[in-house]
């Protein structure tokens, strides 16, 4: 999948674009209400089939001829592949390698529109909540709504994610 990946910088005038580069981003930089849009990945038929043969072997993911006769009317990417593509963009553009600590999980994962060969995907993340941990003040909890969009602007995947992010400053330190 990575050979087709072409990272793109966030739109410089897009509302919510981080004011700090990813290598200097901490909890304090994730502002509630901010919307960040980034990434661009073209999905190929070969990638869809290879992923599905290995991880999600259903005809509408692995066989274009059989897929044509399904309710989808053609080959579609596994939702799990779409999650993997989202994670690549999320990790490279949103999560800070120096401050991202972990994720206790996600909620409300939805695959809304099938991803098809030659779709170009991007990611939009809205910071829903950012609060400092009461028990561990060196980190914060960031809740984000993640949406993956195709080239037509249709949301193909949505989820709510929770991330633990290190703080730049700690009270009393």
Q: Is 84 exposed, middle or buried (0-12, 13-18, 19+ CB in 10 A)?
A: middle
Q: Could you state, in order of their start, the residue ranges of all structural domains in the chain?
A: 2-166
**Closest to 172 measured CA to CA, from 132, 143, 125:** 132
User: Looking at the domain that runs over 2-166, which CATH code has it been given?
Assistant: 3.10.129.10
- CA 152, CA 27: separation in Å to the nearest integer? 32
Neighbours of 173 (CB within 10 A): 7
Residue-wise pLDDT tens digits, 32-87 = 999 999 999 999 999 999 999 999 999 999 999 999 999 999 999 999 999 999 99
């Amino acid at each position: 999948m990575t050979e087709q990946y072409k990272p793109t910088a966030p739109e410089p005038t897009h509302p919510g674009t981080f004011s700090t580069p990813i290598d200097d981003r901490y909890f304090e930089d994730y502002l509630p209400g901010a919307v960040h849009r980034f990434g661009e990945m073209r999905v190929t038929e070969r990638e869809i089939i290879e992923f599905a043969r290995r991880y999600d072997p259903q005809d509408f993911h692995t066989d274009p001829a059989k897929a044509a006769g399904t309710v989808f009317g053609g080959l579609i990417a596994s939702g799990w592949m779409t999650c993997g593509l989202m994670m690549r963009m999320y990790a490279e553009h949103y999560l800070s390698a120096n401050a991202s600590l972990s994720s206790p999980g996600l909620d409300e994962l939805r695959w809304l529109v099938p991803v098809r060969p030659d779709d170009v995907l991007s990611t939009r993340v809205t910071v829903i909540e950012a609060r400092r941990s009461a028990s561990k003040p060196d980190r914060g909890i960031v809740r984000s709504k993640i949406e993956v969009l195709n080239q037509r602007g249709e949301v193909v995947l949505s989820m709510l994610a929770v991330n633990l992010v290190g703080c730049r400053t700690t009270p009393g330190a």
